[in-house]
């Protein structure tokens, strides 16, 4: 683990973020440019996210499957908007082997493929080719599938977790008999994401619909969940797309209805990725490092022993081990830190990793039958009877979870302003940053001009409170009330 000091958020927010990733031992840059190695602690966090979301998906009837990482180039050419949207991000396989070049003594690609293969940037095309064989009758619908997979997008500017050439995600794909059912599923999955972000990651969310220019390539419409980071920028945390029949027709995903007539299915796709880890850092972290919400933390509690000699260590360890056992019986994730290190070294390590609660036990604590409980979110200390530690720990973890959400929600509210004068809007975006609620005329040209002048984009048309009550920033009549912000 890194021992270098963490840059403060005020000093350099971007460097602070990278320092926290390193200090918390979450990930590191790979030897492959633009790719990352997710380290065990970071992967344990991803596994927790996976486990919780997977259970939530399955409650709605979704089943997991897996599809090839390689996609024939011709599949992308069947849906014009889709290929246009992803063409510049595709990694392409053109040969199937390497051979030694006798002249240079180096390995060179050989055996050109009859058709180039795209390394999966998203899986609509390969999955819907498969769906065309799985769906024959209305009895086969709805078809509700999810896959956990890796994705490759040829990014030029990368940042650990937030944007990398390869990342992990889940992508759900569903097929339905009617447009109404498909749209209900797309909206349902956004609600699943919103629940997960707010109740597990403790990140308040604004849910809504993307504008035409910001929607997924090939979708009729895109729904999203947007989160505010501590620098006032927005993070698109997850998306759900109502695909209509845009992929069903070119891939012939059709079925015989109850009248025996052939119909094309209506489809959705939806996903979240390891980008959520980046969002977690930027929503809750402080200048000491990571802060983990208890419901998602790989380690919820660390029990740190304090001693100066072997005799003290032996006495303290007996009590500490018993306490660890009791906490594990409560279903908590607990680690005993009984290393022969100075207390400050131990404490700092777990602070950087963001462990929600630290329990300190030394010889005097054993003698007094007490323990010291320290919250990571507030650094508050509480001296508790050993016999009451388990119950107090459960209560404190719930308090921490609730407190983190309320703190982030208050921050979001304080950094959100309603502005309908363009000069004031421009000044706020340039100097303060945050979310701006503003009326918008619905014109894509107006949207593009605002983006060009301020670098702020329409993050979403919120599901709630999106009716315009005045003129657009451009002066024309407002059609929607939207959220503007700079974004990652």
- Does residue 452 sit in the same domain as residue 331? no
pLDDT band at 422 (very low <50, low <70, confident <90, very high): very high
Check whether 2 has a pLDDT greater than 70: no
- Does residue 52 sit in the same domain as residue 195? yes
CATH number, domain at 436? Answer: 3.30.110.30
Report if residue 168 sits inside a domain: yes
Check whether 88 has a pLDDT greater than 90: no
Report if residue 289 sits inside a domain: no
Check whether 1 has a pLDDT greater than 70: no
Decide which of 217, 249, 284 is a domain's last residue: 284
pLDDT band at 84 (very low <50, low <70, confident <90, very high): confident
**Cα distances (angstroms) measured from residue 285 to each of 48, 203, 298:** 19, 12, 16
Instruction: State the pTM of this model.
Output: 0.95
Q: How many domains does the chain have?
A: 3
- Does residue 454 sit in the same domain as residue 390? no
Whole-angstrom Cα distance, residue 475 to residue 456?
Answer: 18
Report if residue 192 sits inside a domain: yes
- Does residue 47 sit in the same domain as residue 154? yes
Whole-angstrom Cα distance, residue 275 to residue 386?
Answer: 40
Whole-angstrom Cα distance, residue 147 to residue 136?
Answer: 22
pLDDT score for 268 = 98
- Does residue 259 sit in the same domain as residue 336? no
Question: To which residue do tokens 């510049």 refer?
Answer: 88
Taking only Cα atoms into account, the Rg of the chain, rounded to an integer number of angstroms, comes to: 26
136-184 pLDDT per residue, tens: 999 999 999 999 999 999 988 899 999 999 999 999 999 999 999 999 9
Least trusted range by pLDDT, from 74-78, 209-213, 449-453, 478-482: 74-78
Decide which of 284, 314, 329 is a domain's last residue: 284
Average pLDDT estimate for 99-104: 93
- Does residue 268 sit in the same domain as residue 315? no
Check whether 201 has a pLDDT greater than 80: yes
Report if residue 372 sits inside a domain: yes
- Does residue 234 sit in the same domain as residue 335? no
pLDDT band at 479 (very low <50, low <70, confident <90, very high): very high
- Does residue 173 sit in the same domain as residue 253? yes
pLDDT band at 76 (very low <50, low <70, confident <90, very high): confident
Report if residue 108 sits inside a domain: yes
pLDDT band at 18 (very low <50, low <70, confident <90, very high): very high
Average pLDDT estimate for 316-342: 96
**Reduced to 3 states, what is the DSSP secondary structure of residue 478?**
coil
Report if residue 295 sits inside a domain: no
Report if residue 248 sits inside a domain: yes
CB neighbour class for 463 (10 Å; exposed up to 12, middle 13-18, buried from 19)? middle
Report the half-sphere exposure of 405 (CA within 13 A, side-chain side): 19
Whole-angstrom Cα distance, residue 439 to residue 408?
Answer: 25
* Strand-strand pairing, 221-228 and 435-440: unpaired
Check whether 213 has a pLDDT greater than 80: yes
Phi-psi region of 61 (alpha: psi -120 to 50; beta: other; left: phi over 0): left
Average pLDDT estimate for 17-33: 97
- Does residue 384 sit in the same domain as residue 448? no
- Average per-residue pLDDT in the chain? 96
Closest CA to 153 of 214, 215, 85, 91: 91
Q: Is the dihedral of CA 55, 59, 60, 61 positive or negative?
A: positive
- Does residue 47 sit in the same domain as residue 176? yes
Decide which of 366, 396, 426 is a domain's last residue: 396
DSSP 139: G
- Does residue 325 sit in the same domain as residue 188? no
The domain of 421 spans: 416-485
pLDDT score for 79 = 77
- Does residue 19 sit in the same domain as residue 119? yes
Report if residue 407 sits inside a domain: no
pLDDT band at 99 (very low <50, low <70, confident <90, very high): very high
């Amino acid at each position: 683990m890194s021992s270098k000091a963490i840059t403060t958020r005020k000093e350099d927010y971007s460097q602070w973020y990278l320092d926290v990733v390193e200090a918390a031992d979450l990930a590191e840059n790979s030897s492959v440019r633009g790719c990352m190695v997710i380290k065990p602690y970071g992967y344990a966090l991803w596994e927790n996210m996976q486990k919780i979301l997977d259970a939530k998906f399955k409650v709605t009837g979704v089943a997991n499957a897996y599809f090839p990482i390689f996609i024939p180039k011709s599949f992308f050419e069947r849906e014009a908007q889709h290929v246009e949207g992803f063409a510049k991000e595709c990694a392409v396989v053109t040969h199937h082997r390497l051979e030694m070049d006798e002249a240079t003594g180096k390995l060179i690609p050989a055996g050109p493929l009859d058709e180039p293969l795209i390394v999966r940037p998203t899986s609509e095309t390969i999955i819907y080719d498969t769906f065309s064989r799985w769906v024959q009758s209305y009895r086969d619908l709805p078809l509700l599938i999810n896959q956990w997979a890796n994705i490759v997008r040829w990014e030029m500017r990368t940042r650990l977790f937030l944007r990398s050439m390869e990342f992990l995600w889940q992508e759900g794909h569903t097929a339905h008999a009617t447009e109404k059912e498909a749209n209900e599923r797309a909206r349902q999955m956004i609600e699943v994401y919103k629940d997960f972000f707010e109740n597990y990651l403790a990140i308040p969310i604004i849910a809504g619909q993307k504008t035409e220019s910001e929607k997924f390539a090939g979708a009729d419409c895109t729904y999203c969940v947007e989160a505010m980071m501590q620098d006032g920028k927005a993070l698109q945390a997850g998306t759900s797309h109502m695909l209509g029949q845009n992929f069903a027709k070119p891939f012939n995903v059709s079925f015989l209805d109850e009248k025996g007539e052939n119909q094309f299915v209506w489809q959705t796709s939806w996903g979240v990725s390891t980008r959520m880890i980046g969002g977690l850092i930027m929503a809750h972290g402080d200048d000491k490092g990571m802060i983990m919400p208890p419901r998602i933390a790989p380690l919820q509690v660390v029990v740190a022993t304090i001693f100066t000699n072997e005799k003290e260590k032996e006495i303290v360890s007996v009590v500490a081990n018993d306490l660890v056992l009791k906490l594990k019986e409560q279903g908590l994730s607990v680690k005993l830190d009984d290393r022969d290190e100075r207390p400050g070294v131990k404490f700092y390590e777990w602070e950087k990793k963001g462990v929600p609660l630290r329990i300190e036990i030394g010889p005097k604590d054993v003698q007094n039958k007490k323990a010291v409980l320290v919250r990571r979110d507030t650094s508050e200390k509480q001296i508790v009877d050993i016999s009451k530690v388990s119950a107090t720990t459960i209560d404190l973890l719930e308090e921490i979870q609730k407190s983190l959400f309320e703190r982030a929600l208050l921050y979001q509210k304080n950094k959100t302003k309603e502005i309908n004068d363009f000069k004031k809007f421009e000044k706020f975006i340039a100097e303060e940053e945050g979310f701006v609620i503003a009326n918008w005329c619905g014109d894509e040209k107006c949207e593009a001009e605002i983006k060009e002048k301020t670098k702020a984009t329409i993050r979403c048309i919120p599901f709630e409170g999106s009716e315009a009550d005045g003129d657009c920033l451009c002066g024309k009549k407002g059609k929607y009330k939207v959220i503007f912000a700079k974004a990652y």
